[in-house]
Chains A and B, each alone.
Chain A
Amino acid sequence: MTPMKNVFRIAAVSLLGFGSAQAADTMVPGVARRLTVEQYTRVIADTFGPTVKIGGRFDPDVRVDGLIEVGAAQVSVSSTSLSQYDAMARSIAAQVVNEDNRLTMLPCKPASATAPDDACAGKFLAKVGGSLFRRPLTPAEIEHQVRTAANATETVKDFYQGLSLTLASMLTAPEFLFRVESVEADPANRGGYRLDSAGKATRLAFFLWNGAPDEELLRAAQKSELDTPKGLEKQVNRMMASGRLKDGIRAFFDDMLQLAGMDDVMKDGALFPKFSSQIAGEAREQTLRTIVGVVTAPKGDYRDIFTTKKTFLTPGLASIYKVPLAFDAPIGAPDYWKAYEFKAEDPRAGILVQTSFVTMNSHPGRSSPTLRGKALREVLLCQKVPAPPADVNFTIVQDTSNPVYRTARDRLIAHRTNPVCGGCHKLIDPMGLALENFDGGGAFRTTENGVKIDTSGEIDGVKFADAAGLGQAIHDNPAAASCLVQRLTAYGLGRTPKKDETWVETQKAAFIKNNYSVPGLMRSLALSPEFYRAVPNEIKAAFNTP
């Protein structure tokens, strides 16, 4: 080995500055999660400001066990996606050092624009490196980055371009693209591991804020304050009080309710002229605003998201809901959202009848009680609905021109007479049929093919007459609260809790006792020692259908 390489080796070994007590070959169960699209975007904006544009295409996030946050701990990157990340990184870095931005974004001016300036490069790289890697860089790491910049500058004979390429390499680096939660031996659990201070800071910040730790959290981590119950509580309380908590809550519900699916919702323009990709985005936002409004209100009860009459509307959504609403701000103004409360007699209540849920769980040209019922069971109650068996004839279900079976209910009942199908359809159809007053584009209707729609149904023995009744039944169903606890815990851990992790049951009991408060549950999880226990990651096959 040449002496030069040796220097790199030594620098590399001390690079991360945490967890170095472990022997190199121990299988330490730290968890590495790939940044989601949203998190990537947020960290870039936090570091360089909102004017930097992010071009290019991200790898699609992968959902495992119902959550992208769990999928993020399962996926890696291919060379194809890495070249996309690399192209995006070079574009971001070029904007940071371009002639318009370099005066404000760089803390110094190089002595020469065509030669390396280690002092200036070091100042800049240490600062942005700390923000991008979510921890202060060690002196060895700064030295490593400065040398990288000097080499690049010498090759291209341009200080800014050399710096820009080095910055791009940091944006392509695994320390940026993956959130590594570092671990240490757990004194309370012999032979086990727990997150160390830096690992805790990362987990906390992404869990509560969906972003990187701020300076105060990093400081507390460095001083090992997060390792004492008192120090941890102080930071958690501070973070819970911050306006960024809403970002965390939004990110969680966006993931749990699979609202990213709105990006893929396409409706036939001839049949649903009011629907557009703009409306799809607004529908997603409406649901998030509704939920944040409910769960962050004083004594906000999670279950009320299924029954609330309160929501927020844009002109486009108001038109779909046929709500006469005056908007002062012109359309296209930065924020033309308006709070609105549906009247008691209005059929709209809760998130299940919002445009997001009913359009996402429909076909491009019509509604689908089956898809809606399935989503309800799987997404909101965490129950698995089996796939249809092989060799089944579905013909009757949607021959909408059949003179005998005019409504979806008629067609599904006919289909259900097949005992093989009946088992599962009994589980999903009655819930989905209750939403039949809302068509595939989200509009209210009372008839299908000239026949009045019957929206009555039952779930787990509870009967209801319409969508509002369904909302109330879900509100009262114990599986709804249980599902929320399971998903929020998995979201924080980056894995689905195992059946023998009884502490999750304790969390659930506390959640119920605490009036189903979501922020309360977040706080209680964040203060729980089990939340930081490191469990070896298991990779499940992640696969999507064609």
Chain B
Amino acid sequence: MTRNATRRTVLRGAFQGAAVTVGLPLLNCFLNNNGTALAATGAQLPVRFGHWFQALGLNPGMWVPEKTGAGYTNNIQLKVLDPFRDRTNIFSGLRYFLDGRPHETHTSSVQIATTGIYGAGGPSFDSNIADAIGKGTRFRSLEIAFAGRSLSLSRRSATVINPAEASPVALYQRIFGPDFRDPNAADFKPDPLIMARQSVLSSVSERREALTRQLGAADRVRLDEYFTGLREIEQTLAHELERPAPLPACKVPGAEEEAKPGSVVEDITKNSKLFAGLLASAMACDQTRVFNINLGSVGIRKAGSTFTWHTATHEESVDEKLGYQKEVFSFLTWANATFVDFLKILNSMKEGDGTVFDRTMVLWQTDHGDARTHSLENVPLMTVGTAGGRIKGGQHIAVSGDPYTRVGLTVQQAFGVPINTWGDRSNKTTKTVTEILA
């Protein structure tokens, strides 16, 4: 008699007291019907979080859907997101608060969006999420700067920047270079070289106390951060000495093609696809569960042009007939399409009976409501993806005048960060956006 192996039958066997050992390789049929749990162990496939920061806002009046609540229709600037509409939440009416403090344009709002606090250096909220879901993966998080310069908005603390990768080739090397272990490799032998590396680094850790006692409070904190980083590397090496759990979706991509990091839109379009493919593979191989994309803005331009996207937002006239800035509109159309192409690549990487993107949620944030005037009102924000069913999509949520940080708090909670308040002064919030929680 042939029977389909289902998760239920295997589990039933386990309940009846028989020790069930599942042989390798692990096949997709050992996933449960939703492809979300490993049948053999009952362990969940991981959830993943991505942060996409796209400075310079959106065209005012061209992105807010007319209808609020479920079943909205995308406005012209966000039409490109239609394929993901049932998994997208659009927030309108959010704002940043300065509370009378000076407005460092393109900076104050970024600080609030990432740390919840005006003028703060860190930690950024993605580090909290990485602590909640990223432990035990090879990379606690991966940071990428699309516009060539290695600017990262991700901070472990005020003094620890998580540096961003600007080159797809370099990122490939970091993830799939010599230190990568294929979780599906037939044989596994702990590498003595890794053991030796672990032992020499632990000889550094042993000096921790002697080193930190020499320093004042502030420097002691910085040295502690150093040792935390060192501990994470030691843990990664320890991890590499254990036989990895097989991951059927993990396929090692071929060597990365040479790319040209830079701030010209054509290069960014190409690089963003390369980065997306790499991240999709990295997540299918469970090398990371958190990524941060900084699309950047400084210097993004079209080849041969005397202006950049940023300077155009300030200096281009509003077209009298069209009612908006034409060049800025075209930059935004490009950026939003780049975002959607990025999501599509994650959504094309098969995992179980779904895709890598099924278990991912990407938070899209920006710095200004209207970049032309550096406005901090009605600043757009989106979530795309359900993170394996944690987030409910398909809604336009109009929250007039609420702090931008509300969504940051909600998302952190959804990923298991144990906080019930986030931000300070008027950017402080305790109010979760319950509508998006499944």
Contact = CB atoms under 8 A, between A and B. Distances in A.
Nearest to B300: A364
Contacts of B263: 266, 364
A173 interface: yes
B314 A394 contact: yes
B303 A76 contact: no
A398 B307 contact: yes
A495 B199 CA distance: 37
Identify which of B122, B153, B159, B201 gathers the most chain A CB atoms within 10 Å of its CB.
B159
Interface residues of A, number: 95
A266 B103 CA distance: 28
Given A60-B150, A82-B230, A155-B199, A27 B225 contact: no
A386 B228 CA distance: 37
Given A57-B170, A76-B226, A397-B314, A386 B102 contact: yes
B296 A546 contact: yes
Contacts of B122: 541
A19 B215 CA distance: 10
Given A395-B317, A545-B107, A536 B218 contact: yes
Interface residues of B, number: 94
A359 interface: no
Interface string B88-117: 000000000000001111110011000000
B372 A543 contact: no
A496 to B, nearest CB: 14
Given A174-B223, A365-B307, A57 B150 contact: yes
A342 interface: no
A161 interface: yes
A165 B196 contact: yes
Interface in A370-409: 386-400
Given A156-B196, A394-B372, A542 B233 contact: no
B160 A390 contact: no
Nearest to B141: A80
A135 to B, nearest CB: 13
Interface string A123-160: 00000000000000000000011011001100111000
Nearest to A19: B214
A148 B203 contact: yes
A169 B216 contact: no
Given A266-B263, A392-B373, A31 B204 contact: no
**Main secondary structure on chain A at its contact with chain B?**
loop
Contacts of B139: 80
A183 B229 CA distance: 26
Contact of A31 (B150, B219, B306): B219
Contact of A172 (B158, B196, B204, B308): B204
B367 A15 contact: no
29 contacts: A8-B206, A16-B214, A19-B214, A27-B216, A28-B213, A30-B216, A32-B215, A77-B229, A78-B163, A80-B229, A82-B230, A147-B203, A148-B199, A156-B196, A169-B201, A177-B226, A183-B214, A365-B305, A387-B103, A392-B373, A393-B372, A395-B314, A395-B372, A397-B314, A398-B314, A398-B315, A536-B216, A541-B120, A546-B106
Task: Report the 8 A-B pairs with minimum CB-CB distance, sorted nearest first.
Answer: A541-B121, A365-B306, A394-B314, A79-B232, A169-B200, A79-B229, A398-B315, A29-B216
Given A16-B211, A78-B161, 13 more contacts: A28-B214, A32-B222, A74-B222, A76-B157, A81-B163, A169-B200, A363-B311, A364-B299, A365-B307, A390-B103, A542-B159, A546-B53, A546-B297
